Amino acid sequence: MAYIKSAREEEECIFCTKAQRENDEDELVLKRGKHAMVLMNAYPYNNGHLMISPYRHVASLEDLNRDEQLEIIALVVLSMSVIRRALNAEGFNVGANIGSVSGAGIAEHVHMHIVPRWKGDTSFMTVIADTKVMPESLVETYRKLRTALHELESH
């Protein structure tokens, strides 16, 4: 019983699943670090919405060790640079929802959100809230971000 429960929980956690799968483009994983990865949100609040999650299945930033904390902050900063370069973002919302009471979608596995912002993008966000974001446009954005990442990392 305990085995079935833990296997199911593992299966339901998209962060653990994506960490284990290998095709980065299919999984929309932009970068795999030592302790954490950067991936695109498949249901973005805005175009280019990224998430950073540790590989370990823990619920809060407080559960992370110092190495994990430092890499996550470094990946947040890298993600901002990538989004600026690829999509000319003018600002960002950066944060994490900790605990289901905060509105976290997947409260058991902590993750940071990086949402790019542009002047006047509220109308865009209203539009996408009512419309399914096409997988093609997600992949197109993914490729733009990946190109910018490679450019930044080759400097």
24, 33, 45, 57: which one contacts Zn ion (CB under 5 A)?
Answer: 57
- Work out whether the CA dihedral 17, 19, 25, 30 comes out positive or negative: positive
Taking residue 37's Cβ as centre, other Cβ atoms within 10 Å add up to: 24
Question: Considering the rule CB under 5 A, would residue 16 count as an interface residue with Zn ion?
Answer: yes
| Cβ–Cβ < 8 Å for 82, 145 | yes
Which range binds Zn ion by CB under 5 A, 11-19, 65-73, 114-122, 137-145?
11-19
- 59 belongs to the binding site for Zn ion (CB under 5 A): no
Binding map of Zn ion across residues 76-115, x = CB under 5 A, - = no contact:
---------------------------------x------
Phi, psi for residue 50 in degrees, rounded to 5? -110, 160
Please state whether 48 falls in left (phi above 0), alpha (psi between -120 and 50) or beta.
left
- Contact residues: Zn ion, CB under 5 A: 13, 15-16, 57, 109
Which active-site residues does the annotation give? 111
